[in-house]
Amino acid sequence: MYALAMLLKLLACTTLIALAGCGSASTSKPLFNGHNLDGWTKVGGGATYTVEHGEIVGTRGPGPNTFLRTNDLYDDFVLELEFKWDEPINSGVQFRSRQRDEDGRVSGYQCELDHSDRRWTGGIYDESGRGWLAPLKDDPDAMAAVTSIFEWNLLRIEVDEDRLRTWVNGVPCADLMDKQDAEGFIALQVHGSADPGQVRWRRIRLTEE
């Protein structure tokens, strides 16, 4: 009888531990289904976003900066995706971002995708706000993380309360403490300009913390 009681107690404890583990587990999901732009909305300028071979293709158009934003909002997460350029163009990945009521422009944190000789891909910029928060001018390792803009590169963004961190191809880039925005959408930017340009993203996955 005693042995049976101990066995039942052990099973109950094991069940509680398993349930606690399930409750705290992170969940990873694709933000892009590889077929269409369901779950996303274009805002801003006249750039176009299409789907080709399981990739989102952003092509520069007329007007100001354009953004393909998620319909859902996120707070703490790990975001991973791959990116490359077909034609050089300034771009970025917005996170914890929002549309301003007064003019509809997108504001918020942006992880820079920088095709230029400056090579600040992975730096953090405050779009339509304070400007550069974490430039990479004093970090030669981060500036060298993208070896070719025409090959696929891996971007990782970790957002944990007030701490914002980025990696490019496994190289640490930005590590910033900032309290301005606690929640917002994720968006893929095509920067406004008269020059042509095209950028691609794929394998976009998000793990909520």
Cα(171)–Cα(114) distance, integer angstroms: 15
Lowest mean pLDDT among 18-32, 86-100, 115-129: 18-32
- pLDDT at residue 51 is higher than 70: yes
Mean pLDDT of the chain: 89
Please tell me the predicted confidence (pLDDT) of residue 171: 98
- How much is the average pLDDT of 9-23? 41
For the record, the structure tokens of 118 come out as 């400056």
For the record, the structure tokens of 162 come out as 């007030």
Let me know: does 106 contact 43? Beta carbons within 8 Å: yes
Strand 106-113 and strand 91-99: the pairing is: antiparallel
Please tell me the predicted confidence (pLDDT) of residue 190: 96
- Give the phi and the psi of residue 105 in degrees, each rounded to 5: -70, 155
- How much is the average pLDDT of 1-6? 44
Band (195; pLDDT cuts 50, 70, 90): confident
Band (167; pLDDT cuts 50, 70, 90): very high
Cα(43)–Cα(100) distance, integer angstroms: 11
Cα(115)–Cα(206) distance, integer angstroms: 24
Please tell me the predicted confidence (pLDDT) of residue 25: 59
Which helix H or strand E contains 9, and what residues bound it? Answer: helix 2-24
Please tell me the predicted confidence (pLDDT) of residue 21: 43
Structural domains of the chain in order of their starting residue, each with its CATH number: 28-208 (2.60.120.560)
Band (166; pLDDT cuts 50, 70, 90): very high
DSSP 19-61: HHHHHH--EEEES--SS--TTEEEEESS-EEEEETTEEEEE--
Band (11; pLDDT cuts 50, 70, 90): very low
Burial of 188 (0-12, 13-18, 19+ CB in 10 A): buried
- How much is the average pLDDT of 20-33? 72
More confident: 77 or 9:
77
- How much is the average pLDDT of 91-110? 92
Please tell me the predicted confidence (pLDDT) of residue 77: 98
Cα(43)–Cα(55) distance, integer angstroms: 19
